[in-house]
Chains A and B, each alone.
Chain A
């Protein structure tokens, strides 16, 4: 890994990373899942859930990236995950145990059918 030597270098690096993300978002069949893995999430079983999702999506031949992320703020509904289907807005699901995880794969990811436990995003983020 080479060191970033100037602001220009950094800006290039950012563009590169941004375009990778854009590419990912524009992909026609890539499912993106973020698992909230802060202390409350892990305490509620987010680690097991993440492993489950990775294994099961693989087994069921669904092209997906599962990544960890920090606290989404919905502590009451841990574990929580955010699922982004190709060309769709992200949806946050709460109370996702393994059974619910399975249901999300089968119903929402495979069939675009929503399941219980959706948490509407109730915050604004700053514009980048």
Chain B
């Protein structure tokens, strides 16, 4: 027997989201978007509930979650940091910026700092190539970021 360990409140939230899409299997990706934006991430238990509500297999839900880079099963940091790895940013030194973040936060891409404050990820182009290299912290965009400027960025959140 598979048991799902989630608070009733969360289960109801997920159920409501599924219901708002008529519990339709074809709306899986929309449901996952909404659920992730509500709960922050998509842990296994959440996927189990979604699968049940949409009358599909958990394996299918997991298959979809792991296919799309936007979905995450790990909670992101309070301030998620995303480094744009679009070509424009790449040729203007995004890799060095990323290396500096890794060194400064002592985590690698896909990880969250022990205090839960920062997480690090790479993005495809955010379309702000004029500002390359670009870093996003939460919804805020930092343009023309240089490796020696990242301490300053992090200080905004400390």
Contact at B127–A39, with CB atoms within 8 Å? yes
A75 to B128, CA, bound (A): 8
Contact at A43–B129, with CB atoms within 8 Å? no
- Range of interface residues on chain B? under 10
Tell whether A66 is near chain B: CB-to-CB under 8 Å. no
**Which chain A residues (71-88) contact chain B, with CB distance < 8 Å?**
74-78
A75 to B129, CA, bound (A): 7
Tell whether B93 is near chain A: CB-to-CB under 8 Å. no
- Which B residues are in CB contact (< 8 Å) with A91? none
- Chain B's nearest CB lies how many Å from the CB of A50? 16
- Which B residues are in CB contact (< 8 Å) with A42? 141
| Chain B 114-132 near chain A by CB (<8 Å), digits 1 or 0 | 0000000000001111110
- Which A residues are in CB contact (< 8 Å) with B127? 39-40
A31 to B98, CA, bound (A): 44
19 sampled A-B residue pairs with Cβ under 8 A: A39-B126, A39-B127, A39-B128, A39-B141, A40-B128, A40-B129, A40-B130, A40-B131, A43-B128, A43-B134, A43-B141, A43-B143, A44-B131, A75-B129, A75-B130, A75-B131, A76-B130, A77-B130, A78-B131
Enumerate chain A interface residues (CB-CB to B < 8 A): 39-40, 42-44, 74-78
